[in-house]
Amino acid sequence: MTCTETRDLFSALADDALTPGERAALDAHLAGCAECRRELAGLLRTVKLVRAMDPVHAPAGFVDRVLAAAQPAPSHRRLVRRLMRPWPTLPLGAAALLLIGGLAVLLFRGSPEQQRAAHDQLEAARAPSSERNVAAPQSVEAPPAAVTAAPRSDTDLSKNYSEPPKSESMRAKTAAPTTKTDAPSPRARAERAQATVPNASRDSVSSAREQEAQQRLTPPAAMERRDAKRELADRGQEALAPAVGGRSAAAPSAAERQPPPVGAATPAPAMATAKAQAMPQSAPLSRTGPMTGIPAAPPDVTARLRVAHVSGAERALIELAARVGGRQTGRRIDGGRLVVELAVPRDTYAEFVREAAALGAVSIESQATDRPMLAVAVTVSN
Amino acid sequence: MREGLGADPPGLLPRLRAGDPRAFEELVIAYQHRVFGVALRMLGNRAEAEEIAQEVFLRAHRAIADFRGEARLGTWLYAIASRLCLNRLASPDRRLARGDDALMDVPASTPDAAAAAERAELDAALRAAIAELPDDRRLVLVLRDVEGLSYEQIAEALALDPGTVRSRLHRARMQLKEKLERFA
């Protein structure tokens, strides 16, 4: 046996995977070859080093995130979440509703009915005092009714917003944070063994991460992410056919390839659009929203992208940003046109522009590349 | 090295097939570290590893009805994880730097500062050397020497001949040995 043939057996020797014949031949060669003995010692030392590496642990909350992603919330809750998405926290949502209530009061006061009431009040002031006491309260009480209506609907919304999906069996059973603990579960036991964080704070951390995960994984963001992932995996599908047990582990079914049902995935942009159009055109929906990772300053880059299909281009832009190490930071409607807001690393900005040009006709309107992470606002239109 | 891949938790597969959500939760709990471990060692980036690991379980969740049960659940999950990692690595769009936090493991503590520094240097060199291996060799090395799978389980997960597993592993280890010779 030559030195080369001998050394080819070293790795299998480390695994005790040699046949008796191979082992005998190896031993015979090693007995007379000091160089191969040195080589073998080096290889065994290397194997020992690799095996001594600490095993990796999944990050805390991983199980929750997988379960949340695997079992999307019922459609009505998804709808409520989408409606609440522009308001990252309940106080902001409540404030916005109070503002709407306040506007309603102002509008009411300016309405013909109100003017008539005020006129009546004026007339009553001229009339004998017994009648005045009846007319005045009527006109004062109506506006507060409009104000109190708003918080009531807000309470309902917030309940649904923070209520965990029913299908996630191990979630907290109440919407408001309490110190109540769930019955022990396999997940709870396993995670408790890994962490020493007290239950109450773990619950709140878990709840926060859950919300974060929901925001990340709730359609349309989730659909976009999953579509992107499927597309990515599909590209390598031919090279690596499913290996074990299942015939379609990595192959999405025909049903999965179909676009999501209109009712499931499209209302969010549609509703956001409708909402934005109802509001002043320049009102930013997203830069103050939960996805905002950059300050609400003017963007470093403003660009226009003319495409055949706006919604498809929006998805493609978001995927492109992710591919170049960036992310979506928001979306808004400006002058009836969709503006996709992205954070793109300066280092990959050129690549971003190049690939964006493949989506449609790109024109850069302003461009400053001083900061390492660029705020890019792309107006997408037909 | 992790303990070898044992038998599936008893009764788990039928419950998974029946759509029991608790069974899926148990599956994720049981295999989360293994799946995430392979993804991290292959991709070298925690965020990307988590994304892939999550996708592994989501695909398993969707495809459990098609899983014939000829392999262990663990082997099946390793198979999905391996394929997704290799696909991701082969993607021309992949621009994330490898190895930015693949070196996250804390070196064994020792009272001797010089020994600690030496150990840390060796650890860093080892992880860098692993990260530089060709993807197919690194995968076999990770599955065998980090995750503790047998040759047969690796062959099954990667749809390879056991002889191919053995030769890839041999090349990977020899390559590592050469890179780490200065520490001998």
Contact A67 B66 (CB under 8 A): no
Q: Which long-range contacts (CB under 8 A, 24 or more apart) does A11-17 make?
A: A11/A43, A11/A47, A11/B166, A11/B169, A11/B170, A11/B173, A11/B174, A12/B166, A12/B170, A13/A40, A14/A43, A14/A44, A14/A47, A14/B173, A15/B144, A15/B151, A15/B169, A17/B151, A17/B166
Q: What angle do CA A335, A337, A338 make, to 5 degrees?
A: 130
pLDDT in tens, A321-374: 999 998 887 888 777 888 888 888 888 888 888 888 888 888 888 888 777 888
Closest CA to A291 of A322, A265, A333, A327: A327
Q: Please tell me the distance in Å from B148's CA to the nearest CA on chain A.
A: 9
Q: Please tell me the distance in Å from B8's CA to the nearest CA on chain A.
A: 14
Contact B145 A232 (CB under 8 A): no
From A8, which residue of chain B is nearest by alpha-carbon distance? B170
A186 closest CB neighbour out of B25, B36, B62:
B25
d(C-alpha A129, C-alpha A118), whole Å: 16
- pLDDT for A82 equals 56
- pLDDT for B171 equals 94
From A38, which residue of chain B is nearest by alpha-carbon distance? B184
Contact B58 A167 (CB under 8 A): no
B79 closest CB neighbour out of A11, A59, A244:
A244
d(C-alpha A245, C-alpha B67), whole Å: 5
A351 and A324 Cβ atoms separated by less than 8 Å: yes
Residue A265 Cα distances to A158, A224, A328, A340, angstroms: 22, 10, 18, 18
Which chain A residues contact residue B26 at CB under 8 A? 186
Contact A249 B90 (CB under 8 A): no
The two counts, helices (H) then strands (E), for chain B are 8, 0
Residue A345 Cα distances to A350, A351, B44, B98, B166, angstroms: 10, 10, 20, 17, 42
Closest CA to A231 of A211, A204, A250: A250
Two tokens at B7?
């038998």
Contact B146 A51 (CB under 8 A): yes
- pLDDT for B176 equals 93
- pLDDT for A257 equals 38
B33 closest CB neighbour out of A57, A70, A169:
A57
A186 closest CB neighbour out of B29, B68, B76:
B29
- pLDDT for B180 equals 87
d(C-alpha A197, C-alpha A50), whole Å: 32
Contact B106 A241 (CB under 8 A): no
Contact B173 A243 (CB under 8 A): no
pLDDT in tens, B74-98: 999 999 999 999 988 887 666 444 4
pLDDT in tens, B58-76: 999 988 888 877 788 999 9
The owner of tokens 């830069």 is A287
From B69, which residue of chain A is nearest by alpha-carbon distance? A245
Query: Would you give per-residue pLDDT tens digits along chain B (184 residues)?
Result: 777 777 888 888 889 888 888 899 999 999 999 999 999 999 988 999 999 999 999 999 988 888 877 788 999 999 999 999 998 888 766 644 444 444 444 344 455 677 777 778 888 888 889 999 999 999 999 999 999 999 999 999 998 999 999 999 999 999 999 988 877 6
- pLDDT for B37 equals 94
- pLDDT for A95 equals 60
Regions in chain A scoring below 70 on pLDDT:
72-98, 101-297
B58 closest CB neighbour out of A59, A70, A169:
A70
Tell the burial category of A292 from Cβ atoms under 10 Å away from its Cβ (0-12, 13-18, 19+): middle
Q: In what order do the strands lie in the sheet with A301-306?
A: A327-334, A337-345, A373-381, A301-306, A361-367
d(C-alpha B62, C-alpha A100), whole Å: 44
Two tokens at A246?
């299942």
Closest CA to A300 of A347, A216, A226, A364: A364
ipTM over 0.90: no
- pLDDT for B41 equals 92
CB-side neighbour CA atoms (13 Å) of A254: 0
d(C-alpha A154, C-alpha A91), whole Å: 10
Which chain B residues contact residue A69 at CB under 8 A? 54, 58
CB-side neighbour CA atoms (13 Å) of A305: 31
A42 closest CB neighbour out of B37, B64, B177:
B177
B126 reaches A (C-beta below 8 A): yes
- pLDDT for B153 equals 92
Q: What global pTM score does this model have?
A: 0.48
A382 and A311 Cβ atoms separated by less than 8 Å: no
Contact B173 A71 (CB under 8 A): no
- pLDDT for B75 equals 92
Which chain A residues contact residue B53 at CB under 8 A? 58, 62
Q: What is chain B's mean pLDDT, rounded? A: 85
